[in-house]
Structure formats: structure tokens, C-alpha cells
Amino acid sequence: MPNVDHTATASYASSGFSNRMSWGSRPALLLIDVCCAYWTPGSPLDCSSNPAAVAALPSMRRLLAAARQAGIPVVWTAIRYKKDMSDAGLFWLKSKNLDVWKEGDERGFDAWVEGLVPDDGRGDRETVVWKKMPSGFFGTELAEVLRERGVDTVVCCGVSTSGCVRATALDAMQSGFRPMVSAPVFLYELRKSLGKFGIRIGDADIV
């Protein structure tokens, strides 16, 4: 298990937290909101000056290649809003940078990243689920997609440890899927982050 250091690690472990769910037998790869907004200068969400963000891209490409070679399902989440952002709810009040995903935005920040693009040729083994909130499960068909494919474990990777990755991992667990969050593909938080620590304590396994 990757080392996720935090001053409270021992205290939580002694209280019965931080146990391992461990792998099931039917995994899927879940890529969460991987788009140009996070790696394009000028984007309000650009984090390309962060070495961890840059390193995340080849890690995700390797995971994707391995999943496709093994023939396991791949599911992508992506965000889309109406032009007036009327379907973004209270999330829009909190985060005005969400307009990078509004319909018709000409900046192109919502585009897929080179080498991380859904493959329509894989049929039902590769699916895009559109969402509007941090969790890939909230208000979407993601749980149904996974169940239809017989999935019991989701390998989560993507953008924003304490935001969309954690929200999706938590909902995966609550929906009966074993969430395995890939340590090399975290963005924003550093190794000792509260984001990773919180995920490990009660939401998912970090692998």
C-alpha cells in the first residue's frame, strides 16, 4: 500500500479506521474528468506548473493501455452544462470556473487530452458518463453501467483528489463497488495531503 503520511494516521488506525477493502475479481478503470482544462495555460483550472500534475498524464496513459490490453471495461466521466449554467445547481455558486464546461464555450478546455481519449471502437467496454456534480455517480447512470458489465471494483484516477476523485470513490463504495484510488494520478494535493488521507481513512483503498 502506498504510504500516505499524516499526523493522525496512528490514531485513526487504533480506532478501527483505515482497513483494507481489497480487490474484487471484476475491475473497471474509471477516468474522472480528464480534460484539457487541467493542463492548458490560460485555463482557470490549469495545474500544469505542478510536477505532480504533469506526471499524472503518463501514469493515466499506462493505466488506460493496460486496461484495454486486458479487456476490462473503461468508463470515463465528463462534465457538461447548459449555456446559462442553469443545470449546475449550487455547485455553480461555489465554483465559477465550472463555465469551462458550458455548452458552446469556445476556449476548448473541455476537450480530451492527447492519448487519453475514449475509444468508440470498443463498444460497451468503453463508455462516457456525463455528469454535473463532483461525484460521477450523482444523478448519472454510472452505477447501472458498472453493474451491467459485472464490475465489482473500480480503479479511480483523475483530477482533484479532495473533489471529484474523492466524491466518486465515496459513492462507489456506497453503491457496492470496491474503490481503488490510483496513487500516482492525484492532482492538486501533495503526498501528505488531507485529500489522500481522508480517502484512505474511510472511502477507498489507495493502490
Could you tell me the residue range of the domain that residue 138 belongs to?
25-206
pLDDT at 1: 41
Whether 156 maps to a domain, the answer reads yes
pLDDT at 18: 62
Whether 3 maps to a domain, the answer reads no
Whether 181 maps to a domain, the answer reads yes
pLDDT at 98: 96
Out of 35, 156, 157, 164, which one is annotated catalytic?
Answer: 164
DSSP symbols for the chain: ------TTHHHHHHTT-S------SSEEEEEES--GGGSSTT-TT--TTSHHHHHHHHHHHHHHHHHHHHT--EEEEEE-B-TT-TTSHHHHHH-GGGGGGBTT-TT-TTSPBTTB---GGGGGGEEEEEESSSSSSTTSSHHHHHHHTT--EEEEEES-IIIIIHHHHHHHHHTT-EEEE-GGG--SS-TT-HHHHHIIIII-EE-
The number of folded domains in the chain is 1
Whether 164 maps to a domain, the answer reads yes
Whether 11 maps to a domain, the answer reads no
Whether 202 maps to a domain, the answer reads yes
pLDDT at 193: 46
Whether 172 maps to a domain, the answer reads yes
CATH of the domain at 55: 3.40.50.850
Annotation says 47 is catalytic: no
Predicted confidence pLDDT, tens digits, the chain (207 residues) = 444 444 555 665 566 666 677 899 999 999 999 999 999 999 999 988 888 888 889 999 999 999 999 999 999 999 999 999 999 999 999 999 999 999 999 999 999 999 999 998 988 899 999 999 999 999 999 999 999 999 999 999 987 766 888 899 999 999 999 999 876 555 444 444 444 444 444 445 566
Whether 13 maps to a domain, the answer reads no
